[in-house]
Amino acid sequence: MTDMDDGTAVVILLVEDETLVRLLANDILSEAGYRVLEARDGQEAVTILEVHDSIRAILTDVTMPNVDGLALAKIVSGRWPHIGIVFPRPWPFRPTCRKALGSFASPTRPQRSWRSLKPSSRRRPTSQQAQHLSL
């Protein structure tokens, strides 16, 4: 996928502590045309965000060591409000998690989140690929 502004690949930061899930998600996103950076937890994600200003979205797990996905979302919304945050699993939107996420908690389907990146290419993750991300 390319950024409509300058034609470069849209960069997504994938934050997942489980290696196999991270590899699968990276493969799916890369095949869809995204440039993927990886982090094993929220702490590593913040470090990557501090040095890469091209990141347009974060795809993050919720339950991780060190800094979890909810804490990461709070940090990102405060420091990098232009970066979209995607939780591929529906359970973060239970009432307790919704309260923790605050104003940027809005349950969405992965397909809608990817569309918000406004890629100029017609290739988007298929429904089947998006479902793999929620395993």
pLDDT digit string, tens, across residues 71-117: 999 999 999 999 988 887 655 455 555 555 554 444 444 444 445 55
Residues 129, 4: Cα–Cα separation, whole Å: 23
Query: 97: buried, middle or exposed (CB in 10 Å: 19+, 13-18, 0-12)?
Result: middle
pLDDT band at residue 119 using 50, 70 and 90 as cut-offs: very low
pLDDT at 86: 86
φ and ψ at 83, to 5 degrees?
-90, 125
Residues 119, 56: Cα–Cα separation, whole Å: 11
Q: Is residue 121 scored above 70 in pLDDT? A: no
pLDDT at 105: 47
- Yes or no: say if 109 and 130 are a contact pair by the CB < 8 Å rule: yes
Average pLDDT over residues 21-44: 93
pLDDT at 116: 52
Tens of pLDDT, residues 3-17: 545 567 899 999 999
pLDDT at 92: 47
Enter the CATH code of domain 11-133: 3.40.50.2300
Query: 89: buried, middle or exposed (CB in 10 Å: 19+, 13-18, 0-12)?
Result: middle
pTM (two decimals): 0.68
pLDDT at 106: 46
